[in-house]
Amino acid sequence: MDNQELQQVIAKAQEWLSETYDEQTRTEVQALLDNEDSTELVDSFYKSLEFGTGGIRGIMGVGTNRMNIYTVGAATQGLCNYLKKNFADLPQISVAIGYDCRNNSRLFSESSAKIFAANGIKAYLFEDLRPTPELSFAIRELGCQSGIILTASHNPKEYNGYKAYWDDGSQIVGPHDVNIVNEVAKIKPEDIKFDGSDDLIEELGEDMDNKFLAEVKKVSISPDIVEKHKDIKIIYTPIHGTGVKLIPAALRIFGFTNIINIPEQDVVSGEFPTVISPNPEEPAAMEMATKKAAEIDADVVMASDPDGDRIGVAVKNDKGKYIIVNGNQTALLFIYYIITKMKEAGTLKGNEFIVKTIVSTEMIAEIARKNNIEYFDVYTGFKFIAEIIRELEGTKKYIGGGEESFGFMPSDFVRDKDAVSSVALMAEITAWAIDQGKTLYEMIQDIYLEYGYSKEKMKYVVRKGKTGAEEIQQIMTNLRNDTPKELGGSPMEWVKDYSTLIAKNLLTGEEKKIDQKITSNVLQFFTQAGTKISVRPSGTEPKIKFYFEVTGDLNSRDEFDAAEAKADMKIDAIMNELGL
- What is the C-alpha separation between 90 and 207, in angstroms, rounded? 26
Three-class secondary structure assignment of 274-343:
CCCCCCCCCHHHHHHHHHHHHHHCCCEEEEECCCCCEEEEEEECCCCCEEEECHHHHHHHHHHHHHHHHH
- What is the C-alpha separation between 16 and 25, in angstroms, rounded? 8
The closest of 72, 118, 123 to 98, measured between CA atoms, is 123
72: Cβ–Cβ under 8 A, 6 or more apart, which residues? Answer: 108, 111, 112, 150, 162
What does the DSSP 8-state code read for residue 199?
G
109: Cβ–Cβ under 8 A, 6 or more apart, which residues? Answer: 97, 98, 99, 125, 126, 148, 150
385: Cβ–Cβ under 8 A, 6 or more apart, which residues? Answer: 355, 357, 378, 401, 403, 409
Q: How far is CA 176 from CA 95, 138, 139, in A?
A: 16, 20, 17
- What is the C-alpha separation between 534 and 496, in angstroms, rounded? 9
- What is the C-alpha separation between 154 and 239, in angstroms, rounded? 10
Q: Which of 105, 111, 146, 153 is catalytic?
A: 153
- Annotated catalytic residue 499: no
Instruction: Give ∠ CA 301-54-532 in degrees, rounded to 5.
Output: 70
Answer whether 215's CB lies under 8 Å from 413's CB.
Answer: yes
Helix ranges (DSSP H) in 371-464: 382-392, 419-435, 440-451
The two counts, helices (H) then strands (E), for the chain are: 18, 23
Query: In terms of C-beta distances under 8 Å and separation of at least 24 residues, what long-range contacts does 481-486 make, across chains too?
Result: 483/525, 484/525, 484/577, 484/578, 486/527
Question: What are phi and psi for residue 556, nearest 5 degrees?
Answer: -160, 165
What angle, rounded to 10 degrees, do the helices at 419-435 and 327-345 form?
Answer: 70
Three-state secondary-structure class, residue 448: helix
Instruction: Give ∠ CA 516-520-523 in degrees, rounded to 5.
Output: 95
Chain-centroid distance, C-alpha 280 = 12
Active site residue ranges: 153
